[in-house]
């Protein structure tokens, strides 16, 4: 979708309008008060706002029961959250190198699955982030094997990622988009 706005005359109104548009296009997935475009992200000098939104919503191949359970935010802090629980056969792999259990949770569409890296230690996420590489991840996924009678308990997931693409676009040779001489007509 392409939408033209004149930021120089009404940047704040444009920001609010774009925010409302994104909310409606994403079925209002953002929480009330949570801004898609935070204050100050669009001003009278803005020339272009590029937004790409992907909503992945699938059905698990085998349904989960919803329960409440403890989630460890840190080694000291635990909170009660909604959890998805299921007992069944899952493809898994234990990586001693990364100190994780790799778990595949399949979607109904057999071509798609969610692969989760579960750190062995409650405080193991930071260490995992430093050690994991694409090749190590591919190695783990290639070693997944079916294991029967596994109980999986995962927190309900909602992921959101906001990324500033201007450095990428500039590196691709589109730096002129961010200059005074940019022509979007």
| Number of residues that make up the chain | 185
Helix, strand, coil % over all residues of the chain, rounded to 5? 25, 30, 45
The helix or strand, by DSSP H or E, that contains position 91, with its residue range, turns out to be: strand 78-95
Task: Tell me the average confidence (pLDDT) per consecutive run of 10 residues in the chain, 185 residues long.
Answer: 78 88 74 81 84 70 92 89 95 96 90 90 90 93 96 81 73 80 73
Enter the tokens of residue 33: 């008060």
Kindly list the domain boundaries of the chain, sorted by start residue: 7-52+165-178, 65-155
- 122-128 long-range Cβ contacts below 8 angstroms, 24+ apart: 122/72, 122/74, 122/75, 123/74, 123/75, 124/99, 124/100, 127/99, 128/98, 128/99, 128/100
Q: pTM for the full model?
A: 0.60
Q: Which CATH superfamily is domain 65-155 in?
A: Alpha-1-antitrypsin, domain 1 (2.30.39.10)
**DSSP conformational letter for 32:** T
User: Are the C-beta atoms of residues 119 and 47 closer than 8 Å to each other?
Assistant: no
């Amino acid at each position: 979708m392409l939408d033209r706005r004149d930021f120089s005359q009404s940047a704040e109104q444009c920001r609010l309008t774009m925010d409302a548009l994104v909310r409606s296009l994403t079925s209002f997935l953002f929480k009330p008060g949570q801004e898609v475009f935070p204050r100050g992200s669009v001003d009278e000098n803005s020339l272009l706002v590029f937004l790409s939104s992907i909503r992945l919503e699938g059905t698990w191949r085998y349904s989960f029961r919803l329960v409440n359970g403890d989630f460890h935010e840190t080694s000291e802090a635990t909170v009660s959250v909604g959890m998805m629980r299921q007992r069944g056969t899952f493809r898994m792999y234990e990586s001693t190198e990364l100190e994780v259990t790799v778990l595949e949770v399949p979607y109904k569409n057999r071509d798609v699955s969610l692969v989760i890296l579960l750190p062995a230690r409650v405080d193991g996420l930071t260490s995992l982030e430093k050690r994991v590489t694409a090749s190590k991840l591919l190695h783990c996924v290639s070693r997944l094997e079916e294991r029967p009678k596994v109980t999986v308990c995962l927190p309900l997931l909602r992921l959101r990622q906001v990324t500033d693409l201007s450095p990428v676009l500039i590196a691709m040779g589109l730096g002129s988009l961010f200059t005074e001489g940019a022509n979007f007509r």
